[in-house]
Amino acid sequence: MAKDPKTDKTARDTHYATLRRQVRDGKRERGEIPTPDPRKDRRKETDWTPPQLAPDQVRLYGLHTVRAAIDNPERELIKLSVTQNALVRLDIGPVDSLRFPVEIVTPQDLDKQLGPDAIHQGAMLETRPLPVRRLEALKDSPLLLVLDQVTDPHNVGAIMRTAVAFGAGAVITTMRHSPTESGVLAKSTRR
């Protein structure tokens, strides 16, 4: 069966998903399963507070983000916390041959570290921030992008994706009033 390139689903997948929804809705109508309250957001019920990080440490998460960080020779890696399934999907070779420690965890362990809203895909990498470059190192770059007081990491990530598309050599931000390197920023650049 041919897959729809936009959704990566076949007609069969869509058909069975429709059947599953019909069965679930029928059970709700008969009172066999409860109807969820749409006003209630279950993720906000948790009293999650982020664990303290060392000031020179960053947590990156998500398969593409973690893979890109591992492949970056300038990145100093501290520890990879990963589920067994995500380790297979990362395809980084035998754990024994890696230059950093690897800890096999459950998805719930990562939820405790990253929070209930983080889409970690079973992988979290603790690392040092990338080194800050001096302006002299960018003199051969044909295009530089300068941001002033763009504080939302999602927006900065989207801007960085666009900068790469236009061949920018660097994105320059201010020391204050700009987001620090984080998992949210890194994940936003990989969409």
In this prediction, residue 2 carries a pLDDT of: 60
Q: How many CB atoms lie within 10 A of CB 113?
A: 18
Element (DSSP H or E) covering residue 184: helix 183-189
Please name the residues in contact with 13: beta carbons below 8 A apart, sequence gap of 6 or more.
none
Query: If you ran DSSP here, which 8-state letter would residue 97 be given?
Result: G
Q: How many domains does the chain divide into? A: 2
Q: pTM here?
A: 0.64
Q: Give which of 147, 166, 164, 165 is closest to 156, Cα–Cα.
A: 147
Residue 151 domain-assigned?
yes
In this prediction, residue 123 carries a pLDDT of: 94
In this prediction, residue 76 carries a pLDDT of: 92
Domain of 163 in residue numbering reads as: 135-189
Q: How far apart are the C-alpha atoms of 160 and 23, rounded to whole Å?
A: 44
In this prediction, residue 94 carries a pLDDT of: 86
In this prediction, residue 161 carries a pLDDT of: 86
In this prediction, residue 155 carries a pLDDT of: 87
Q: How many CB atoms lie within 10 A of CB 66?
A: 29
- CATH code, 107: 3.30.1330
In this prediction, residue 101 carries a pLDDT of: 93
Do 67 and 108 share a domain, yes or no?
Answer: yes
Q: How far apart are the C-alpha atoms of 78 and 183, rounded to whole Å?
A: 15
Chunk the chain into consecutive blocks of 10 residues (it has 191) and report each block's average pLDDT, rounded to whole numbers. Answer: 60 85 87 73 60 82 90 91 92 86 92 86 91 82 87 86 86 80 71 48
Do 62 and 104 share a domain, yes or no?
Answer: yes
Q: How many CB atoms lie within 10 A of CB 107?
A: 13
In this prediction, residue 86 carries a pLDDT of: 92
Q: Give which of 120, 87, 90, 121 is closest to 104, Cα–Cα.
A: 87
In this prediction, residue 40 carries a pLDDT of: 58
In this prediction, residue 7 carries a pLDDT of: 55
